[in-house]
Copies of this chain bind each other. A is one copy, B any other.
């Protein structure tokens, strides 16, 4: 295994411990953001903050003070030019039971890890993926936000151990194509870029939104809609996105082979500039 140096800050103090009664531990009652550090800053911070804010609204979690969080992050990453920072916000430390007492203060946790040593061919030639057996359940009350209830992703990711397979593609309970275990999915089909609708399940990825913004700016035809397994199988290009990797073309899903297409390359070049991928 690649050795990962981890350091952790809890509520502004360097510590690796959280209280057992934290509702994040008890119920997964919280949210997270995984962000890339480029040249000592977080290039997509505003989008991450907006998603966190939306998640806090939906879960009725008190939003932490933004300038305090920004101050903690800048202290935390001051000597880290490049890497990953995970921000976890939980509802706070509560008593027994699901009911929330009104006095809870959110807990803010920062975790640093090194940039993963993904091989360069993931960006160039694309990655090999598989279709997961674990399905995403439909839950409109939680769809889109990045909450701490991630057992579906844990089950899906642990369906395989083959290191050649980099990502698993997940369908929902109805058989629609939604996303990867840690990425959002886009397909190119009939000269249009399509990404699945995530109103019923799935995560509104910050890189997904960045790519959608870019498609809009560049006047590239695109649509958010239901994607069937047939749509995926007959796509001209497939690519995956997240905040850390930017864009990875998909070379193969099980027995279906895809070309790294022009649209994927064009978008990837622009996204690489944002996240400073060489």
Chain A contact residues, CB within 8 Å of chain B: 1, 4, 6, 8, 10, 15-29, 59-60, 84, 86, 88, 91, 95-101, 109, 111, 113, 116, 134-135, 137-139, 141-142, 147-158, 173, 181-182, 201
Residue of B nearest to A24 (CB): B25
CB distance from A31 to the nearest CB of B (A): 10
Is the Cβ of A150 less than 8 Å from the Cβ of B18? Answer: no
A17-B19, A20-B16 as given contacts; A27 in contact with B141, CB under 8 Å: no
CB distance from A218 to the nearest CB of B (A): 32
What 13 new A-B contacts, CB under 8 Å, besides A135-B141, A137-B139, A149-B149? A6-B95, A10-B20, A16-B21, A26-B148, A26-B150, A28-B149, A60-B158, A98-B181, A135-B139, A137-B137, A139-B173, A142-B151, A149-B151
Number of copies: 2
Contacts of A150 in B (CB 8 A): 26-29, 98, 149
Report Cα–Cα, A101/B157, bound state, in Å.
11
CB distance from A263 to the nearest CB of B (A): 28
Report Cα–Cα, A201/B139, bound state, in Å.
12
CB distance from A171 to the nearest CB of B (A): 13
Report Cα–Cα, A194/B263, bound state, in Å.
57
CB distance from A70 to the nearest CB of B (A): 20
Is the Cβ of B99 less than 8 Å from the Cβ of A158? Answer: yes
A141-B135, A181-B98 as given contacts; A25 in contact with B22, CB under 8 Å: yes
